Amino acid sequence: MKIEMELNGRAVTHEIDPGANLLSVLRGMGQFSVKLGCETGDCGSCTVLLDGEPVNSCVVAAARTHSHKVTTLEGLLGDPLMKELQQELVDKGAVQCGYCSPGILISLYAHFRAGNELTDHHLREALTGNLCRCTGYVKPLEAALTVAQNQQGGPDEQGGAS
């Protein structure tokens, strides 16, 4: 079947299998930041934004993105918030093998953009769908808290690291 979606701000038409998951379709379109880790919605290496909300694209039907907006990391490379998140992740040493990094970045980006609370606990909740086997989450959270402090224009008043 043919679908028309808005991918990273551009209308695209794509021929898909009706049962295909969004992950396989996006990779087929060259969106390599979207990675396969489990295909059961658990690991988050395939996280993308669907109409601005983070989803695990392996458990989303590609067909349902017809007339909807899909955003991958590729589409956010010029975004100031995303750049800041990437810079902090790199600076804090939160990128080891990097396989989880695009998914973590998308989840954090969505959490920040939605205006959610930025405490250590809320950031951990935002990352529940992103498994990282390398870092133990310490440095990714440190990076996220640093961005949170910058965003709030000062030290984190809402609890910070527990």
Partner 1 sequence: MWELKEYRFAATAQEAGALRRQGPGKGAYIAGGTDMYLQPVDCDFVVDINNAGLSDIARTPAGDLFLGAATTLHNIATNPLVADFAEGMLIQAASHCGNRPVRSTATVGGNLCHALPSADMAPVLLALDATCYIADEESQESVPLADFFVSPRVTVLDDRLLVGLALPAEAATRRCASYKLTRSAEDISLVQVVVALGVENGKIETARIALGAVAPVPMRAVLAEAQLVGQSVADISLDLVADAAAIAAGECEPRDDHRASAEYRRDMVRVLTRRQIMKALHDETTITKDSGGTVA
Partner 2 sequence: MSASKNRHAVGHNVEKVDAFKLARGEAVYTDDITRPGMLTAKVLRSPHAHARIVKVDVSAAMALEGVADVIWHEDVKAIAHTRAGQSYPEPSPYDTVIMPHKARFIGDRVAVVAADTAAIAEKALKLIEVQYEILPAICDMDEALERTDVLVHEEADPLGIGGGGKSNVAAHIDKQVGDVDAALKTCDLVVERVYHLPRVQASHIEPHISIAWVDEDRRLIVRTSTQVPFHLRRILARILEMSESQIRVIKPRVGGGFGDKQEMVVEDLVSVLALRTGRPVRLEFTRAEELIAARYRHPQRITMTTGVMKDGTMVANRMHVMADTGAYGSHALTVQGNTGQKVMPMYPAPNIHFLVDCVYTNNPISGAFRGYGAPQGCFALESHMDEVARELGMDRLELRLKNHIRLGDTDPLSAKLGEGREGLARVVRSTGLDEAIVQGCEAIGWGQEKKPSAPHLKRGVGMALAMQGSGIAGVDWGAATVKLNDDGSVNLAVGATDIGQGSDTILAQFCAEELGIPTEKVLVLSSDTDLTPFDVGAYASSTTYVSGGAVVKAAIKVREQLAEVLGSTWECKAGEIIFADSKATGPGGKSMTMAEVAMFALYDAKIQPMATASHMSNESPPPFAAQFADVEVDPETGQVEVLKIVSAVDCGTVVHPRLAQGQVEGAVAQALGYALFEEVLLDRSGKVLNPNFLDYKIASALDVPPMVTILVETDEPTGPHGAKAAGEVPIDGPAPAIVNAICDAVGVRNYRIPATPERVWRGIKEATQE
Q: Is 44 in the site for ligand FES (CB under 6 A)?
A: yes
- Hey, which residues between 130 and 159 contact ligand FES (CB under 6 A)? 132-135
Return the residue of 6, 36, 41, 98 that touches ligand FAD, per CB under 6 A: 41
Return the residue of 105, 110, 145, 148 that touches partner 2, per CB under 8 A: 105
Q: What are phi and psi of 145, to 5 degrees?
A: -65, -35
Query: Out of ligand FAD, partner 1, ligand FES, none, which partner does residue 27 contact, by CB within 5 to 8 A per kind?
Result: none
Other Cβ atoms within 10 Å of 108 Cβ, number: 27
Q: Is 59 in the site for ligand FAD (CB under 6 A)?
A: yes
The set of residues, in sequence order, having a beta carbon less than 8 Å from that of 29 and lying 6+ positions away, is 7, 12, 14
Q: Is 41 in the site for partner 1 (CB under 8 A)?
A: yes
Which conformational region is residue 66 in: left (phi greater than 0), alpha (psi within -120 to 50 degrees), or beta? beta
Show the tokens assigned to 111.
């959490």
Instruction: Give the residue with the Cβ less far from ligand FAD, 41 or 98.
Output: 41
